Amino acid sequence: MSKEFLPFTRPSIDEQTIAGVAEVLRSGWITSGPQVREFEAQLSAYFGGRPVRALSSATGALEIGLALAQVGAGDEVVTTPLSWVATANVIVRAGARPVFVDVDPQTRNIDLSLLEAAITPATRMLLPVDLAGLPVDRTRLYAIARRHGLRVLEDAAQSMGASWQGERIGAGGDLVSVSFHANKNLTTGEGGCLVLNDEQEARRCELWRLQGVERFADGSLDATLPGGKHNLTDIAARIGLGQLAHLEEFTARRRALARRYFERFDRTLGCELPVADFVNSNWHMFQIVLPERVERGAFIRAMHDGGVGVGVHYPAIHLLTLYRQLGFKPGEFPVAERIGDGIATLPLFPAMRDEDVDRVCELAARCVRSLPAREPAAPAGSASAGRGRRA
Ligand SMILES: *Cc1c(COP(=O)(O)O)cnc(C)c1O
């Protein structure tokens, strides 16, 4: 190919940030220290003054969020089957049971009209996900939580820069977990944070973050709970500070590119486009759902051969082996299964040019039109049912 390969995402790290990281490396203090404290202070300001603790991953943030709400054996946590598997794994690791609710076919997020029917006396918490950075309706979500006396742990891993009715995601609500993984809208390489309700909860978060250890003025220490190892390094925090300065600009650029996708994408191909929300969504991803007849693996290969990267985010969680072993079956969440089989993430990142969108749209149209119709699906229940699940 004459053109450079276009990945589906790529972080934008400026030279100032790179120089800043070099300074941290030379400073003699590279683990959690002044950069982490500054990053937390700036994140707290960003989230409307709420307490924030930086962590080494959002998976860790979710685990701590469940621990803070004392979710454990015998408890149920209601969540979506269409997410990164971390969302459900943390519930299983806590000893609780994930209760999936199918997704809305338009938003691809947990269907709030089905949510209340999934609540039982064992339900302890709601764990919604904003897929691709399109926020779950917070007004309806919290009305349900209040009605049933439930805590909420927002898996806002993909939501940095998104908002709900003029309020930033993270500035309101109960516990909010955000990811700074390399592919997310704001990155620290690996990292995350948890937004908390008050200083007392933030103190407990610190204990869960680092071995449950408290240090005293006389140099002694004590451990009061079995905390993990979830602290962020100063190296990573310095990257985050450099990213935070560009967040508004990143989000604006992503929205502009998403708009261009809507202008240029051929609507006659039979692909489902995302909800055209240019107010709340941070456009973490631009995802299409391929028409039934197109085999996703073949589409991805054809796009790759044409110089364009395509991602899969995500196959339905309940069909993964671990969850089948826990008793979940094909057919239980048909909308998530259908979307999970056909969803494809097209390139979208701040450094992309407008012409890149045009190129993706032209190539996608050629690929969708020229690919042969796929073989009929394997019978439901067979291990290989679904499109390209093992691709
Ligand atoms: C990325 C992601 C996570 C996990 O974040 P890490 O920082 O990689 O641990 C959890 N949930 C969702 C929806 C994600 O996209």
> Given 3, 184, 229, 329, which residue is catalytic?
184
Over range 160-171, report the average pLDDT.
Answer: 98
| Ligand 1 contact via 84 beta carbon (within 6 Å) | yes
Instruction: Supply the pLDDT for residue 2.
Output: 55
- Looking at ligand 1, which residue's alpha carbon is closest to its atom 8? 181
Q: At 293, give phi and psi (nearest 5°).
A: -75, -15
332-362 residue pLDDT tens: 999 999 999 999 999 999 999 999 999 999 9
Q: What is the mean pLDDT of residues 72-98?
A: 98
pLDDT at 374: 80
What pLDDT is recorded for position 168?
A: 98
Ligand 1 and 187: CB distance under 6 A: no
pLDDT digits over 204-220, tens only? 999 999 999 999 999 99
Average pLDDT of span 148-153: 98
Q: Which CATH number fits domain 247-370: 3.30.360.10, 3.90.1150.10, 3.30.930.10, 3.20.20.80?
A: 3.90.1150.10
As a whole-number percent, the residues of the chain with pLDDT over 70 amount to 95
CA of 363 to the centre of ligand 1 (A): 30
- Residue 97 parent element (H or E): strand 97-100
Q: Is the CB of 109 under 6 A from ligand 1?
A: no
pLDDT at 111 over 70: yes
Query: Active-site residue 3, yes or no?
Result: no
Q: Where are the domains of the chain?
A: 15-244, 247-370
Which strand (E) or helix (H) includes residue 242?
Answer: helix 234-244
CA of 59 to the centre of ligand 1 (A): 6
pLDDT, average across residues 194-207: 98
* Protein residue with least CA distance to atom 6, ligand 1: 58
Ligand 1 pocket test, candidate residues 136, 155, 317, most atoms within 8 A of CB: 155
Q: Which architecture characterizes domain 15-244 according to CATH?
A: 3-Layer(aba) Sandwich (3.40)
Ligand 1 pocket, 58 CB below 6 A?
Answer: yes
Residue 375's pLDDT is 75
How confident is the prediction for the chain on average, in pLDDT?
Answer: 95
- Residue 149 reports pLDDT greater than 70: yes
pLDDT band at 391 (very low <50, low <70, confident <90, very high): very low
3-state SS assignment for residue 121 = coil
Q: Which residues of 362-371 are buried (b: 16+ CB within 10 A; e: fewer)?
A: ebbbebbeeb
| pLDDT the model gives residue 373 | 86
3-state secondary structure of 207: helix
Whether pLDDT at 32 is above 90: yes
Q: How confident is the model at residue 380 (pLDDT cuts 50, 70, 90)?
A: low
Q: What is the CA(181)–ligand 1 centre distance, in A? A: 7
- Alpha carbon nearest to ligand 1 atom 2, residue: 157
Residue 1: which pLDDT band, with cuts at 50, 70 and 90? Answer: very low
Q: How many angstroms does the Cα of residue 325 sit away from the middle of ligand 1?
A: 23
Q: Which of ligand 1's atoms lies nearest the C-alpha of 129?
A: 13
- Contact 61/185 with Cβ under 8 angstroms? no
pTM for the model:
0.95
Burial class (CB in 10 A: 0-12, 13-18, 19+), 347: buried
Distance 158 CA to ligand 1 centre (A): 7
The token duo for 121 is 């006396």
